[in-house]
Amino acid sequence: MSDVYFINRKTKQQEKEQILCKTCLEMLYHKNPFSWFFRTLLCKLPIFSRIFGRLQMRPSSRKKIQPFIQKYSIDAAEFLDPPETFPTFNDFFIRKLKPSARPISNGNDVAILPADGRYLVFQNIHHEEGFLVKGKKFSLEALLGDSKLAHKYAHGTLIMIRLAPVDYHRFHFPCNCVPGEPKLINGPLFSVNPIAIRKNIDILTENKRVITHLKTHHFGTVLFTEVGATNVGSIIQTFEPEKHYAKGDEKGYFSFGGSCILILFEPARIQLDQDLIQNTQHGFETLGNLGQTLGRALSPI
């Protein structure tokens, strides 16, 4: 399996991703009967994710925090609480950051990146022939579980955000909005690591996921979907439905593991930032931070 590279938005430089347990993932998603058996056992039986999650909540897990910070060069100065105060590894994983660490871009008509992560963006998903994995196109109907809703967003704008285990794992609202009641669609917990997604894009439409409709003034109705992954059985929502939130306000968080967020805008409601579009067209994810600009609202047709 070839290495994975992304563009760091701050430096504009290409960087190589450090993939946790890369060899294990390559073996797990290799095409042979043994890989299929263990992948099915691990990802389709939630008990394994629950057990792994509980291990990260044991007091003994806190000894992994400092080595993890050092190995992956995580900036502890951004943490709201010092690393030594976290009682478990999971408490470190769902850490909060100082508000000053992620300034929010101004402008009511400006949408922001809602999380730290690696971004792929598609201005019009219908026209993106490159959005294929092994000749298979991403299915909105399978993702949303609703054919009418899929038709409404078929020519819309799609944002894919992949959160690696090293990332800040709280997610926030991309614009001023009134969120509705979250809708849970149950499913397995396959990895959303690039190795796994390159093998099978259906992972994004099969995994456990939660969809929230965000009612906005400038962007129409935005669909915000959190996708669970291996070891991420818990998608925690911290907001209250039908209450107004400002962009940058917290929406929720993922427990330990890698995870993914998919955001859908209605057709012709947002013009995405050009650097995000160009990096995607060149085959690179863009490493971005919460609060950076995503795009600007277009006048509704």
Catalytic residue among 116, 167, 234, 255: 116
Catalytic residue among 49, 172, 234, 255: 172
| Strands 285-288, 5-8: pairing kind | parallel
Catalytic residue among 49, 61, 255, 259: 259
Q: Is 259 tagged catalytic?
A: yes
Going by C-alpha positions, the residue among 97, 137, 113, 71 that lies closest to residue 263 is: 113
Rounded CA separation 113/173 (Å): 9
Q: Which tokens is 212 given?
A: 């929230």
Residues 6 or more apart in contact with residue 275 via CB below 8 angstroms: 9, 12, 286
| Residues 249/254/259/265 CA torsion (nearest 10 deg) | -30
DSSP state of 100: G
Residue 41 main-chain phi, psi, to 5 deg:
-65, -45
Q: Which tokens is 113 given?
A: 């990146």
65 C-beta neighbours (distance < 10 Å), count: 20
Cα distances from 75 to residues 25, 66, 71, 253, in angstroms, run 27, 11, 11, 19
Instruction: For tokens 């992956």, name the residue.
Output: 72
Q: Is 202 tagged catalytic?
A: no
Q: Is 172 tagged catalytic?
A: yes
Determine the distance from the C-alpha atom of residue 280 to the mean position of all C-alpha atoms in its chain, rounded to a whole number: 16
Catalytic residues: 116, 172, 259
